[in-house]
Structure 1
Amino acid sequence: MNIQKIALVGNPNSGKSSVFNQLTGLNQHVGNYPGVTVDKKTGSFQLGDGEKVKVIDLPGIYSVYPKSEDERVVFEILNDPQNENYPDLFVVVVDATNLERNLLLFTQLHDLGVPIILVLNMFDLLREEGIRIDVEKLSELLGTIPVVPLDARKGEGIDKLKKAVSDFQQTTWIPFLNESHISESGAKTLLTESEQIEDTDHRFKKIAQILKFCLKRETPPKSRKLASNNIDKIVTHPIWGYGIFLFILLMIFQAIYELASVPMDLIDNVFLVLSQQVKSTLPSGVFTDLIAEGIVPGIGGVVIFVPQIVLLFAFIAILEETGYMSRVVFIMDRLMRPFGLNGKSVVPLISGVACAIPAIMATRTIDQWKDRLITIMVTPLTSCSARLPVYTLLIALTIPEEEIWGFMNLQGLVLLGMYLLGFVAAFMAAIIFKLIIRSDQKSFLIMEMPTYKIPRWSNIGITLWEKTKVFVWEAGRVIMAISVILWVLASYGPSDRIEKAVSAIPKPVDTSVDAEKTYEEKVSSVRLENSWIGILGKQLEPAIEPLGYDWQVGIALITSFAAREVFVSSMATIYSVGEDFEDEATMIHRMQQEINPTTGEKVYNLASGLSLMVFYAFAMQCMSTLAIVKRETKSWKWPLLQLVYMTTLAYMAAFVTYNYLQ
């Protein structure tokens, strides 16, 4: 049988993603299924004969009977051989340490009559528990289908899986249950609720009978689960659990600042030198100015924060790989319920630390519409990675680099505070939406705690590569476009307005270097003020002046409505227009020296800096997120409400912050 396309199917937390990573490596692509916001991960690998096989990583599901959008996507693929994602072979990945529960999905798929291979993942953990599986007997009792033992985290057994795919031959199909849910015409049918329960009960009974013949305990179990349980008594404690989680967060943000400082400084200087080289190498003209003052600083304004974003993603991946993130979900569930959030809301809220878009997509696992809608409405308040560049830039400008109690970095502490502020705001907003949106439905969080594991660095590396690539590529395209537009608007103005304003500046009588430099700075400032973007910023200034912002910040507020991280590249472009880059001043240094001509104070001081951070903590400045909310709620009502309430909250909170500290 010629296999050209396979699909990985399995329960959540069965290790399916690890199998996908081991098969495809970095040869992956992430998109969406047509018409829905469900993630579609595809990749490929080569067989021994050099033939390429496409791999589709289907969403994790517990049953083929669809209750969520994830399960419906899988069902529609299973039920339609003409679907473009329908594979030649289904590879069902199960957790070997929980065979009885995991085999339920396998039996449902098997009874659909599809070509299938069973992968027993985490086989090494089963051996550690002193349990032996008779793989050949299991294959025979399940209908003579190929069974491949595997340890995806270490890559052991991947070659056997590839060989099983290469050698696969369809055998005579025998249904697992005599009463199959396939009609005489061959179409897959859905069972009613009562039929589902009866069907599931029959399947579990037969699975238990089969496992009696295939599983055998040979040695006393090791203490892995016992050790996990003992650790859980501490990390999931109703009091100490929260303290430990807060301490871990504090250490993460301290490490982000300490470890990222050197590469960030290096990147900042690299882009400064690059702008200098462009100015000195290319012939003078509009094109050279566009590259040196627009494109290079704009891209540099994002790339400089890649080290911090990589570290954030790395720490999150480590927490997930070790199994600690599941404990966080568990302890946070207790905290969520009084605020009207579903226990499953914890996952989107924590995922929102990386990006609100996949976090909002993750809410489709919440069955109750009210709980799901509340989660969608408050998730963007959690500080995502796009806010991280804004925070770190403003913290570098306004927060002194000091240590507290001899070991705690003040800047890292402020960064942690911004993330906690986002969570607190999400909880408060959830209470309000709980009162607005009425429902009598009750929900429960049911989850299984995985045992603690040593993280596999290869898996973490692939995760970092994919997430960082998506962040840089998605942000880079937007930033490139906005940087070009912003540079044009900042370099040109109506008619001869700029020329008249510049000619009104008296030329220095003194021919000293300092006098010439002062004159050039005045020219640059006047040119920017009289450009199209300067005029727009000046018109906005009265509205944002009570928050401590000037017209230049106003420009960045407007452009960053496309995406929050654009704020940094916008500031980089604004403070680069007209620069000759000969004084070795980086973007941060130029911003630190900016003086408000009205007050005579620095534009970026403690009051204005914290006010701006608070504004970005609450403001809905991400068009992509609004688009996803519209798609998830099937209405413009909720994203527009989200835009209004978050912008109002951001303005009021920034106003209070600035006027309290001023």
Structure 2
Amino acid sequence: MKSSPVLALVGNPNAGKSSLFNQLTGLRQKTGNFPGVTVDKKSGTWPMDAHTSATVVDLPGVYSIYPKSLDEQLVTDILANPAHPDYPDVAVVVVDASNLHRNLLLFTQVADLGVPTVLALNMLDVARQEGKEVNSVRLAMRLGVPVVRINARTGEGIDQIKKAVLGQIEEPTLPGKLFFDPADEVEGLIVDTKAQYQLDNNYLALQYLIQHDGFSFLNQQQRVGLDALIEKHQFSEPTFQANETITRYKRIAVVVAEAVTNQRPANQPTWSQKLDRVLLHPIWGYAIFAFILLLIFQAIFAWAQPFMDAIDTGVAWLNGQLKDNLPPGPLTDLLTDGILAGIGGILVFIPQIAFLFFLIALLEESGYMSRVMVIMDRIMRKFGLNGRSVVPLISGVACAVPAIMATRSIGTRRDRLITILVTPLMSCSARLPIYTILIALVVPSRRVLGLFNLQGLALMGLYLLGLVSALLAAYVLKLVLRTKERGFFIMELPTFKLPRWNHVGLTVWESVRAFVWEAGRVILAISIILWVLASYGPGDALERVETQVRQQNPALADDELQNRIASERLEASYAGHFGHFIEPVIRPLGYDWKIGIALLSSFAAREVFVGTMATIYSIGDGGDDADTTVRERLRQERNPATGGPMYTPALAWSLLVFYVFAMMCMSTLAATRRETKSWVWPMVQLAYMMVLAYVSAFATYQLLT
């Protein structure tokens, strides 16, 4: 027995495969790409005994081994190729015991490929609620493989899984005969294929014939040879595949009838089905979803505000303490006005990010998010998107990069490309700091009807604006990118269940950690660069400015004089020169050179905008009031042309609209380049979003001024 056998987890979507993966591997997990393809790979180590640790690979969820998308193709590509580094010594097929008839289709196909298999019966509690009892012993006898009863949510049955897997590794057992033998119908073709390609499995030979164009491990000569065999025997692939599925389901029905007893009347709906009548209703379903969204955005402001105020005040206090206790000089200025001011501009938004992901995790864990995808599918199709586009678009609320990678589940090339191009219009978590700080400046924290906070309504409006713009952009792209391909949306609706709080907590922790770590590294680098550019200037320009200000304002009080000097020095610095260079382009939007600096720096990552503004205004403030918060610094900023507040409602809403549409994320462009394998589409994405952002922000500012 190998010291590190490969164990593949295979199953339908929502069968509990990923939950079992977490139970087996715990914290011994890693992510990456499968060899040769850019499809996400989750793998981990499972210590089985003192001498054996298995490598567990969580394969993408599929309904059968006949793929309809890139990630589904990967499953067959691995199971049909023993030379693949992830080819399993044992495949654990995880099935939903409450829907055994459908789940066993994939199991029979995997077993027929000759892979040693263990069947894991999951969701037995759900089956029991529906009045179904599964006799696992009788099922094992009928299928000819080990059958284990598990609960992937709680870890029940893990020891039995271990025993079954070790048994299959030491002495592999396969069903006595194929569940479907293609040689019964096309014996000559199967015999010729096996002989020509040195195969010893009839069903694997059939997959060579049907799927050879998609198999990455076959070369062009081998594909041509298989095409010749198909033509020689007049083999009809679609007809044969349809007959295979019908035959399998007939045999599965016999097995299920013997192993499952159903005590619930056929016409009695489950409580999940009763809820779905309301949640999937063509009217009430959308109304409930809108109400839930409204509650989420209200909660983001109401629950997070005390924590945000505490962090904001704490960072400002620390900044003041450092300035008071450290010796004056460039290093102290770098630490307080550069690094701490920039990082503090991000830390203050941790509570809102945490609450956002906490509430989204609750929706996912309960099973409601799958219902959202189903009802949104009705809208998606009117705008030319595949129903599977719902998943990346909803994921885009967290981050556009993994959302773009999630488009691999979309079968048609056009639908996948359109989804990639419009997904960044969904407001991601990186925009949340910008939204909340600008909304707090110009929208009063006042309740409407005693329940809804105006700031929460404004935040929800920005997210809805992103969604509507994504749909309209998709409709335009549908008219441009014409094709005859048709996409299909198939989704298994899981039963409603109580959230697993450890999973919710892990989701929140990972999301916040990724946000802080990824944003923090970029902000730290940009804050240092920005501080240098804002603290130094060409030649002796800064010294001359300071002398000039002192000579022209001899009667000013010391605090006012220091503020005036700091402001003039900032304008004369390298950053000030750069800001003035681009100011003519952004002036029609209401922005000055300081905002221009923040716009450019945020191309690295959108959330850098707030940190940059905090750094700019810290350097531009020469007073002793070092404990002023980021929000107060923005509120106190004056417009030199009018003498009034800089951040008027017109300017703030112009900035908000700009960031709803702007493509200001290098990582997103890189993800688009990787998924489309071309620089053309990232440039198209960048161009149309930046034009849309500029025109919309211009119109907003001019209308509100």
Scaled by the length of structure 2, the TM-score of the pair is 0.87
- 1:27-46 superposed matches below 5 A: 27-34=28-35, 36-46=37-47
**Which amino acid letter does the alignment assign opposite residue 161 of structure 1?**
I
Name the counterpart of 2:611.
569
Cα distance in 2, alignment partners of residues 30 and 268 from structure 1:
35
Change beyond 3 A, Cα 1:516–1:35? farther
Cα distance in 2, alignment partners of residues 290 and 224 from structure 1:
69
Cα distance in 2, alignment partners of residues 85 and 469 from structure 1:
30
Cα distance in 2, alignment partners of residues 443 and 91 from structure 1:
30
Structure 1, residues 212-262: CA drift from partner, whole Å, max 9, x if none?
221123x43799953222222222222222111111100010011111111
Percent identity between the two aligned chains: 54
C-alpha contact 1:130 1:222 (8 A) present in aligned 2: no
C-alpha contact 2:657 2:697 (8 A) present in aligned 1: yes
Q: Which one of 288, 291, 301 corresponds to residue 244 of structure 1?
A: 288
C-alpha contact 1:293 1:578 (8 A) present in aligned 2: no
Cα distance in 2, alignment partners of residues 37 and 370 from structure 1:
19
Shift of 1:70: 0.6
Name the counterpart of 1:215.
260
Q: Which one of 379, 383, 404 corresponds to residue 423 of structure 2?
A: 379
Q: Which one of 378, 385, 390 corresponds to residue 341 of structure 1?
A: 385
Shift of 1:263: 1.4
C-alpha contact 1:96 1:126 (8 A) present in aligned 2: yes
SS of 1:505's equivalent in the other structure is helix
**Which amino acid letter does the alignment assign opposite residue 464 of structure 2?**
L
Change beyond 3 A, Cα 1:654–1:214? same
Shift of 1:620: 0.8
Name the counterpart of 2:179.
177
| 2:110 paired with 1:146 | no
> Which stretch of structure 1 is more off in the superposition, 290-299 or 574-583?
574-583
| 2:483 paired with 1:439 | yes
Cα distance in 1, alignment partners of residues 615 and 129 from structure 2:
58
Cα distance in 2, alignment partners of residues 632 and 408 from structure 1:
41
Q: Count how many residue pairs are aligned between Structure 1 and Structure 2.
A: 657
Cα distance in 2, alignment partners of residues 251 and 335 from structure 1:
22
Q: Which one of 183, 208, 215 corresponds to residue 190 of structure 1?
A: 208
| 2:313 paired with 1:295 | no
Change beyond 3 A, Cα 1:310–1:86? farther
Cα distance in 2, alignment partners of residues 590 and 409 from structure 1:
24
C-alpha contact 1:29 1:41 (8 A) present in aligned 2: yes
Cα distance in 1, alignment partners of residues 559 and 105 from structure 2:
76
Structure 1, residues 614-655: CA drift from partner, whole Å, max 9, x if none?
000001111111122122222222211111111111111111
Q: Which one of 684, 697, 703 corresponds to residue 641 of structure 1?
A: 684
Cα distance in 2, alignment partners of residues 66 and 444 from structure 1:
12
- 1:251-650 superposed matches below 5 A: 251-506=295-550, 509=554, 515-577=557-619, 582-650=625-693
SS of 1:506's equivalent in the other structure is helix
Shift of 1:467: 2.7
C-alpha contact 1:309 1:468 (8 A) present in aligned 2: yes
Name the counterpart of 1:73.
74
Structure 1, residues 487-539: CA drift from partner, whole Å, max 9, x if none?
2222222222222212211166569xxx2221221222122212222111111
C-alpha contact 2:70 2:411 (8 A) present in aligned 1: no
SS of 2:208's equivalent in the other structure is coil
C-alpha contact 2:130 2:270 (8 A) present in aligned 1: no
Name the counterpart of 1:157.
157
SS of 2:496's equivalent in the other structure is coil
SS of 2:71's equivalent in the other structure is helix
Name the counterpart of 1:58.
59
Change beyond 3 A, Cα 1:133–1:581? farther
Cα distance in 1, alignment partners of residues 333 and 133 from structure 2:
70
Cα distance in 2, alignment partners of residues 287 and 396 from structure 1:
33
Shift of 1:64: 2.6
Shift of 1:613: 0.5
Cα distance in 2, alignment partners of residues 226 and 478 from structure 1:
50
SS of 2:619's equivalent in the other structure is coil
Structure 1, residues 538-567: CA drift from partner, whole Å, max 9, x if none?
111111111111111111110111111111
- Unaligned 5+ residue runs, structure 2? 183-189, 211-236
Q: Cα RMSD over matched residues?
A: 2.5
Change beyond 3 A, Cα 1:433–1:578? closer
Shift of 1:281: 4.9
C-alpha contact 2:635 2:647 (8 A) present in aligned 1: yes
Larger Rg: 2
Cα distance in 2, alignment partners of residues 538 and 356 from structure 1:
32
| 2:180 paired with 1:136 | no
Cα distance in 2, alignment partners of residues 77 and 425 from structure 1:
39
Cα distance in 1, alignment partners of residues 34 and 89 from structure 2:
18
Shift of 1:275: 2.9
**Which amino acid letter does the alignment assign opposite residue 74 of structure 1?**
V
Shift of 1:423: 0.9
**Which amino acid letter does the alignment assign opposite residue 55 of structure 1?**
V
> Which stretch of structure 1 is more off in the superposition, 37-46 or 496-505?
37-46
Cα distance in 1, alignment partners of residues 350 and 357 from structure 2:
10
Change beyond 3 A, Cα 1:351–1:112? same
Shift of 1:26: 4.2
> Which stretch of structure 1 is more off in the superposition, 407-416 or 341-350?
341-350
- Unaligned 5+ residue runs, structure 1? none
Change beyond 3 A, Cα 1:285–1:23? farther
C-alpha contact 2:10 2:94 (8 A) present in aligned 1: yes
Shift of 1:280: 4.4
**Which amino acid letter does the alignment assign opposite residue 126 of structure 2?**
L
C-alpha contact 1:275 1:581 (8 A) present in aligned 2: no
Cα distance in 1, alignment partners of residues 28 and 341 from structure 2:
31
Scaled by the length of structure 1, the TM-score of the pair is 0.93
SS of 2:420's equivalent in the other structure is helix
Name the counterpart of 1:234.
278
Shift of 1:88: 3.9
Cα distance in 2, alignment partners of residues 573 and 641 from structure 1:
33
Shift of 1:300: 2.2
C-alpha contact 1:138 1:214 (8 A) present in aligned 2: yes
